[in-house]
Amino acid sequence: MPRSGAERSRALPASPETIAQAGRLLAAGGLVAFPTETVYGLGADATNSDAIARLYQVKGRPARNPLIVHVADIAEARRIGAFDARAERLTAKFWPGPLTLVLERAPTCRVVPAASAGLSTIALRLPAHDVARAVIAAANTPVAAPSANRSGRVSPTDAAAVVAEFGDALDLVIDGGPSPVGIESTVLSLVGTPRLLRPGFVTVEAIEECIGKIEIGAEAGPLLAPGGLASHYAPELPLRLNARETRPGEAFIAFGMIAPVDAAATLSAKGDLIEAAATLYATLRSVDRKPYRAIAVAPVPETGIGVAINDRLRRAAAPRSQE
């Protein structure tokens, strides 16, 4: 079923035909990139060990880093994860949407252990993007779908970035337009005390309004979900944060009023954090090139979704992982 390299080297527009094709490819063990509301995902059948092994290999992803399993409906999620009252309240409020829950595996879970790094837990999400849910439904299987980029690199928010990242290594790329949220989902563990593992569009305040106080940050031990590596979401060029002026050789990314006349790009001229999140990765990609030798980013307020933006920027600026 896999197509030739020439056919795989471009994205195809989302349509009933390409969605059906994506479902067939996933069911046959293929790799399909598709849009979600957060970023583009690289999908593989979460019940197929060979497909999951290929996904890890193509991404160059450490085997200890679990995948998020995406479902087309909540009934499938309940067959995979052990839902409690907290999970029911959160999913009623935030699903479909950019919230991933880490739960204990349900006895009926058919996701292969490799998709969750051999752990007894599973990371689950029901995406809000119509194309994503249609692809998963067409595959008739839960789909593991990390961001469609090489491990540690800047996540893609459009189909062109996926093609630029992987060339003909994938079986299909579906173009559903730019991802409106622009950063990866919030990840919340409900294993024991509720704990935020990765900030995102769904804020701590919104979660606490739903289920009460939560802890912030992962505990020591194995990774329970993506986004926990110190170095991640990184461009090729070094990144300098909280910058207010441009240094020689730097591409300056402005935000709001902090916008030098020689700025190369801006996250949001009006200082809108939602707009900044939506443009973050595309902006980083746009300046990650010659003649620049480094990238500087203006300060972004640490409020609301700004918490997630700063989390991604700090990881992008961290010393590069050797994994």
Answer yes or no: do 143 and 272 share one domain: no
Q: Is residue 233 in some structural domain? A: no
Question: Rounded mean pLDDT of 238-260?
Answer: 97
Residue 158: pLDDT over 80: yes
Residue with tokens 């010393």: 319
Report the run of H or E that residue 69 belongs to, with start and end. strand 68-70
pLDDT level of residue 2 (50, 70, 90 thresholds): very low
C-alpha pair distances (Å), 313 with each of 46, 99, 229, 269: 30, 20, 13, 18
Task: Give residue 208's pLDDT.
Answer: 98
Residue 57: pLDDT over 70: yes
Which domain CATH number covers 172? 3.90.870.10
Last-in-domain residue among 152, 185, 216: 216
Answer yes or no: do 163 and 298 share one domain: no
Task: Give residue 41's pLDDT.
Answer: 98
Answer yes or no: do 85 and 190 share one domain: yes
Task: Give residue 321's pLDDT.
Answer: 58
Give this prediction's pTM: 0.94
Contacts of 322 (CB under 8 A, 6+ apart): none
Answer yes or no: do 40 and 78 share one domain: yes
What whole-number distance in Å separates Cα of residue 184 and Cα of residue 11?
Answer: 21
Identify whether the C-beta of residue 142 lies closer than 8 Å to the C-beta of residue 70: yes
Give the SS3 label for residue 284.
Answer: helix
Residue 222: pLDDT over 70: yes
Q: Is residue 221 in some structural domain? A: no
Residue 139 has, within 13 A of its CA and on its CB side, a CA count of 32
pLDDT level of residue 269 (50, 70, 90 thresholds): very high
User: What range defines the domain where residue 65 resides?
Assistant: 5-216
